[in-house]
Amino acid sequence: MHNSVDNLIAIQKEIQLKTSENKSSKNLPEIIAVSKTFMMENIIPLINHGHLHFGENKVQEAIEKWENIKSDFSHLNLHMIGKLQTNKVKHAVSLFDYIHSLDNFKLAEKIFNEQEKQNKKIKIFIQVNLGEEDQKSGILLKNLNNFYTFCAKELSLNIIGLMCIPPANHEPTDYFKILKSAADKLSLKDLSMGMSSDFETALLNGSTYLRLGSVIMGKRNVN
C-alpha cells in the first residue's frame, strides 16, 4: 500500500478515536488531501483507495494536474484553498467544486458573474483574517456580517462556511473558537480549519473540513 494511503488510514483512525472521546463532536470531518506540488503519480493511490477530497493552492497547477483526471473521476471534489486572483476565477469556477478563500467584494462579484456564465454553483467558504495580519488575506471579523450579507443575500453565492489560518506561533484554540462562534451567529454549519500541525485542535473545536498536506502526502516538493 502506498505511504499516502497508510498515512490517511492512520489519520482517519485517530480522528475517529478523538471524536468518540469528545462528546461535543457529532460528525467526522471531511479530510482534504492537500496535493499541491505533488505529481499525479503520488495522488492516484489515494484516488484508487476511494478518497474524494483534494486541495490545490494554484489554479494553473490544478488545471495541468486535474482537468483530465476529473473527466475520468467525476465524483472527486477539488478544493481551491489558496489565494484566488480575480483573473483566474473563470478557470477556478470551471474546475473546482469548493473555494475556501473568498476574501473581498471584487472577487465575490467575479465569482458570481462566472457562475452565471457557466451555469454552475460551487460551495464557498469566506476566509476570515482573525489575527488581523497584514500579510494574510481574509475579511476582518468586524466586517464579516456585512460581507456575508453581500455575498449570500445580494449575490446569492452558496456560502457554506468560514475558513481561517491562525497566526503562526500562536496557540490556535482561541482562534478556532472565535471562528466557530462567528459561524454559529451566521447559521453556517461548516468550518474549514486545521492543517497538518493543528488538526487535532481544530477537530475538537468543530472543524468540518481539515486541510491536511504533509501528514498525508509526505515531505512537500519545493515549488
Write the pLDDT tens digit of every residue in 29-83. 999 999 999 999 999 999 999 999 999 999 999 999 999 999 899 899 999 999 9
* Three-state DSSP class for residue 108: helix
Q: Which residue has the cell 457562475?
A: 115
What pLDDT, on the 0 to 100 scale, is given for residue 64? 95
pLDDT in tens, 164-223: 999 988 899 999 999 999 999 999 999 999 999 999 999 999 999 999 999 999 887 655
The total of other beta-carbon atoms located within 10 Å of residue 156's CB is 11
Q: Say which CATH number the domain at 13 has.
A: 3.20.20.10
The kind and range of the H/E element at 212 are strand 209-212
- Domain count for the chain, please give it: 1
What cell was used for 123?
460551495
- The pLDDT assigned to 103 comes to 97
Give the domain range for residue 11.
3-217
What's the rounded Cα separation, in Å, for the pair 102 and 39?
26
The three grid cell numbers given for residue 105, joined into one nine-digit string: 467584494
